[in-house]
Amino acid sequence: MNTENTTSQMRKGVLEFCILSIIRRSEVYPSDIIDQMKAAGLSILEGTLYPLLTRLKNAELLSYRWEESVSGPPRKYFSLTEKGETFYQELQQTWTQLADAVNLLTREKDH
Amino acid sequence: MNKIININLAGRLIPIDESAYDQLRDYLNRLKLFFSREEGGDEIVRDMEDRMGELFQDKLKKGVPCIMAEDIAEMIGVMGSPEQIENEAGEEEPARPAPGTARQEQTFAGGKTKHLSRSKRDHMIGGVCGGMASYFNIDPTIVRIALVLITLAWGAGLVVYLLLWALLPVNDLDTPAVKRRLYRNPKQKIVGGVCSGIAAYANIDPIIPRIIFAAPLLGMIFFGIIDQGIFFFPVLTGGLPTLALLYFILWASLPEATTVAEKLEMRGEKVDVLSLSQAIKGAENEKDQPRKRSGIAQIFVVLVKIFVFFVLGTVLLTLAGVIVAVLAALLGFATTSFFVFPFSGLITENINHRYLLWTCVILTLIVPFISIIRVLVRIISGRKKPGSKWLNAALAGLFIFGVFGLFWVGSSIASDFKTPYTKTFNMPLSQPNNDTLIIRQMIIDDGGVVGDHDWDHDGWNNDHDGLRFRDDSTFAVSNLNLHFTNSPDSNFHLLIQKSAQGRNSRRAQQRAEALEFNYRQEGNVLLLPHDFTLPKQQPFRGQKLGIEVQVPVGKVFRTEGLDDNFYTNRIFRVRGGNFSYESSDYDAWDNDKYYRMTAEGPRSSSDKDNNKADSTAG
């Protein structure tokens, strides 16, 4: 049991939730997601994002449209589908419960 | 000195150093390989290329003249290597396994007992072969081919398959994937890559299966040259088509190992990122080095190729012929059924049986026909996935229903032949005035109308053999025979023996008594129809009519225009599921001749009597 493995496991779980949250706020294209996550202090390997997006899209939680860009080829703009919205709600509920529980437990430990 | 090349990376023009380009290509290849096992893998790599292009463009905007090896390393650091990506974003939920990853080797909880089950994942029809393959840990293709061969040879394979399909539970869990799969090896192929695929599977040199497959062919050439083939000929002629057929079956059914992951599976190697990237490096090397052969070897290979193509062409044509023959046979059966259809009232006991019989006949005909067409379409279109599971199940169900229905109706009909019944009726006959009885065939057309005497009876009767319609529902049957015996007294007698079969004697009796035989007597001429009729809706259950004319000793009889039916003894027998029909002619007398009854039986009369007959015939 090493720290790296555990941290990676912890991050893995919330990664999808974070990506969905960013997309839910506004239509974004992949580089935006990376920038926003970096800004929030959650740096990830960029390569990780693309398989996740494709899987979420294949699971019909996300949809995308092409938009022309001024600096280069057209970009894929992602948005949440209805199914994705429900999925997100469920994740959020779980997250709130989990975060509360974790907070409570870790605080009690501090006493 | 390093060359700078311009590449188009996802729609962006990127100037790049040559060695950096090699690294980039290598990285992209590894990504492609890694994601090739995942649904939408191409899309992922495309999106990543897009991001790389963006990163490089940012770099170039900052004033860098071109992308160097360090930039690639930095980019890989940002994006992550396939292994790192797997760690970070690797899938764990079994809820949505990508089809590609499912083939990956899976570790199973030890000590778990395996049960024979149908595989949900590895199925073409019902998953029986996939389940068996998983149970014995072999390639499903091998099981499938074995099953097809058994079915072709004895038909038993189909029964076994259907039974297992019905009995075995479906295994919903992912069965442990077979580590090794039989593929065709496109890299080392001479004809179809089957031999080298087998070699890779069995981890032997490809020359061994090649020799085995080519042995009958080479032997034939060899013994053909030295002209000593007679002894080996049966072995060779038997072996060549069999092996060629086997080769063709394998060629048609095995997929080609095209992706690197499949190539690894073919050799039974573990499929993971490391082995994949090693394999692709090896593959690239392989590509760079064209195989070298000496001139003679090359000529030999070309000759073998030509020969094998020739033989395979023949086999292909033969197979096409077989398929056509099967279709033709089905069509023939269908046509026969169509012609038998009007007579079905004679086969079945009642209307329900009749409907059941025809439904079953149609089902057993149509289902294989549809299946053959579907398989052909699937082979031609190259689609590997079977059609709707429900459709397949429904078709199989209908076919089983048809077969069992036919069996049931058949055995029901057979049991209706069980009990025979015979009764003899002594019919009134007025004594002929000049001690001569003429037996003449009554001419009846298909409408049941008694026609004029047509002395050209040979041509007339040939079209009217066996069973035919009298009108819409009445059948005329010519199952009768005529005998002449000694009369116990000094009078002529006519005895008619009616017999029939049935599932019990009561039913057999009903059937026998219902036979209608409308003979007529005009002076000393006894007019006999050459058939009897069955009443409406009565099936044919071996109904038979025996006509016995008792002639007193010393008196004369003569037959006029009697056709074969009168002296053909027909025996219908249904026993133990077998229907048998025998017919034999007994040649007791000639037409248009006078016979005088003696104590030993009929004797031909003299010419003098013959002349006398002409005056009495009218």
Residue entry with tokens 């493995």: A5
CB B392 within 8 A of CB B367: no
**Span B499-519, average pLDDT:** 88
**Span A55-82, average pLDDT:** 86
Q: Hey, which bits of B149-291 come out as E strands?
A: 170-171
Distance from CA of A46 to the nearest CA of B (A): 4
Distance from CA of B79 to the nearest CA of A (A): 4
In our burial notation (b when 16+ CB lie closer than 10 A, e otherwise), range B525-554 reads bbbbbbbbbbeeebbbbbbbbbbbbbbbee
Crossing angle of helices A30-39 and B41-61, rounded to 10°: 70
Average per-residue pLDDT for chain A:
85
Q: Give the pLDDT of residue B106.
A: 38
Residue A3's CB is within 10 A of a number of other CB atoms, namely 7
How far from each other are the two terminal CA atoms of chain A, in whole angstroms?
27
Which positions in chain A touch B50 (Cβ < 8 Å)? 30, 73, 75
For B88, the closest of A8, A55, A58 (CB atoms) is: A8
Task: Tell me which of B144-153, B167-176, B285-294, B439-448 is least confident.
Answer: B285-294
Average per-residue pLDDT for chain B:
73
Pairwise CA distance, residues A56 & A60, whole Å: 6
Residue entry with tokens 């940002």: B78
Which positions in chain B touch A47 (Cβ < 8 Å)? 31, 48, 79-82, 84-85, 88
CB A22 within 8 A of CB A93: no
Summarize pLDDT for B106-120 with one digit per residue, the tens: 333 333 455 677 776
Residue A85 banded pLDDT, cuts 50, 70, 90: very high
Between B112 and B511, residue with greater pLDDT: B511
CA distances (Å), B551 to each of B182, B183, B545, in order? Answer: 83, 85, 19
CB B68 within 8 A of CB A33: no
The DSSP code for B258 is: -
Amino acid at B105: E
Amino acid at B317: L
Residue B141's CB is within 10 A of a number of other CB atoms, namely 19
**Best mutation target, A45, A56, A67, A77, to test chain B (most B CBs within 10 A):** A45
A14-23, A100-109, B430-439, B587-596 — most confident range: A14-23
pLDDT at B123 over 50: yes
Summarize pLDDT for A40-51 with one digit per residue, the tens: 888 788 888 888
The DSSP code for B99 is: T
pLDDT at B337 over 80: no
Summarize pLDDT for B378-421 with one digit per residue, the tens: 666 655 555 667 888 888 898 889 888 888 888 888 888 888 89
Q: Give the pLDDT of residue A96.
A: 92
Length of chain B, in residues = 618
Residue B18 exposure: Cα atoms within 13 Å on the Cβ side: 4
- In chain B, count of helices (H) and strands (E)? 19, 19
Domain range annotation of chain A:
3-110
User: Counting beta carbons within 10 angstroms of the beta carbon of residue B297, is it exposed (0 to 12), middle (13 to 18) or buried (19 or more)?
Assistant: exposed
CB B406 within 8 A of CB B357: yes
Q: Residues of A at the B interface (Cβ-Cβ below 8 Å)?
A: 8, 11-12, 15, 30-31, 44-55, 57-59, 71-73, 75-76
Between B571 and B399, residue with greater pLDDT: B399
Residue entry with tokens 């000759």: B303
Residue B350 banded pLDDT, cuts 50, 70, 90: confident
**Span B65-79, average pLDDT:** 88
CA distances (Å), B535 to each of B347, B374, B474, in order? Answer: 14, 46, 6
**Span B282-293, average pLDDT:** 49
Between B231 and B5, residue with greater pLDDT: B5
CB–CB contact A50 B44 (8 Å): yes
Residue B183's CB is within 10 A of a number of other CB atoms, namely 25
Between B39 and B532, residue with greater pLDDT: B532
Q: Is B112 helix (H, G, I), strand (E, B) or coil?
A: coil
Pairwise CA distance, residues B204 & A35, whole Å: 54
Q: Give the pLDDT of residue B93.
A: 38
The region, left, alpha or beta by phi > 0 then psi within -120 to 50, assigned to residue B429 is beta
Between B123 and B458, residue with greater pLDDT: B123
Residue B161 banded pLDDT, cuts 50, 70, 90: confident
CB B244 within 8 A of CB B315: yes
Q: Residues of B at the A interface (Cβ-Cβ below 8 Å)?
A: 10-12, 31, 35, 38-40, 43-44, 47-48, 50-51, 53-54, 57, 78-82, 84-85, 87-89, 91, 96
Q: Give the pLDDT of residue B460.
A: 39
CB–CB contact B54 A52 (8 Å): no
Q: Give the pLDDT of residue B457.
A: 40
Residue B575 banded pLDDT, cuts 50, 70, 90: low
Helix (H) or strand (E) holding B129: helix B128-136
Pairwise CA distance, residues B118 & B172, whole Å: 9
Between B318 and B468, residue with greater pLDDT: B318
Pairwise CA distance, residues A16 & B93, whole Å: 13
Residue A58 exposure: Cα atoms within 13 Å on the Cβ side: 17
Summarize pLDDT for B290-331 with one digit per residue, the tens: 455 566 777 777 777 777 777 777 777 777 777 777 777 777
User: Counting beta carbons within 10 angstroms of the beta carbon of residue B350, is it exposed (0 to 12), middle (13 to 18) or buried (19 or more)?
Assistant: exposed
Tokens of B79: 């994006």
Q: Give the pLDDT of residue B464.
A: 45
Q: Which fold has domain A3-110?
A: Arc Repressor Mutant, subunit A (1.10.10)
Residue B589's CB is within 10 A of a number of other CB atoms, namely 20
CB–CB contact A50 B39 (8 Å): no
Pairing of strands B170-171, B118-119: parallel
Q: Give the pLDDT of residue A22.
A: 92
**Span B334-349, average pLDDT:** 71
Amino acid at B15: P
CB A85 within 8 A of CB A92: no
The DSSP code for B606 is: P
**Best mutation target, A49, A68, A70, A83, to test chain B (most B CBs within 10 A):** A49
